[in-house]
Amino acid sequence: MSSTTSKIIAATASGYHILKIEGYSGTKFLSNGRSIKSPPFTAAGHRWSIEYYPNGKARFYQACISLYLVLEEDVASPVKALVQFGFAADERRHLVPFFPKKSKTPAPLFKSGELDFVSRGANGCDEFIERSSLEKSKNLRDDSFTIRCDIVVLNGFHRELHKNSFQTSKVSSSKE
């Protein structure tokens, strides 16, 4: 008897970046549509930066903080990636739980579907959190807050086919 098995394997690269906004109250004076960009960093095999819009990227989102991930390199074809923005605990560098203990309200978290990043292109979240909600939350401490950006780059898929071979063996019974 012969049979086969196969696999579909996703080739990915992942990484994250921690961005701390210090002096938050001073950033609120930036006009709607204006951003502050992080220094470039390398994660998941590519060079990126984060654009922080303290008063939203577009007029419709002026009461919100917008966050965008920017591909800071030239590429021949779009980089396919999944992106997640969330508040990070400073000292532990991990994401704040989606449902914090003693709270029925989810902590702000943005998870994308598959995004295409072209050379120097950006994708992100227009409504990461309303400023008024941030200002009431425990995520704003000493006029600062910390964002963690997780990136998973999808480098394609490959397939494997394996032929299974079963060997038979005789089992003899012995009489005692």
**What average pLDDT does range 59-86 have in this prediction?**
96
- Residue 72: band (very low, low, confident or very high) from pLDDT cuts 50, 70, 90: very high
pLDDT at 52: 99
Cβ-based neighbour number of residue 162 at 10 Å: 10
The per-residue b/e assignment along 109-147, b for 16 or more CB within 10 angstroms, e otherwise, is bbebeebebeeebbebbbbbbebeebeebebbeeeebbb
Cα separation, 173 vs 176, in Å, equals: 10
CA gap 142, 24 in Å, rounded: 9
**Confidence at 166, pLDDT banded by 50, 70, 90:** low
Give the residue with greater pLDDT, 120 vs 159: 120
Structure-token pair, residue 158: 């490959």
Say which residue, 12 or 99, is predicted with more confidence: 12
pLDDT per residue over 96-150, tens digit each? 543 344 444 445 678 888 999 999 999 999 999 999 999 999 999 999 999 999 9
Written as six digits, the tokens of 27 are 């950033």
What is the reported pLDDT for 24?
A: 98
Residue-level pLDDT at 104: 46
Q: Mean per-residue pLDDT for 73-102?
A: 74
Kindly indicate the confidence band of residue 11, based on its pLDDT and cuts at 50, 70 and 90: confident
Domains of the chain: 2-163 (2.60.210.10)
User: Is pLDDT larger for residue 112 or for residue 43?
Assistant: 43
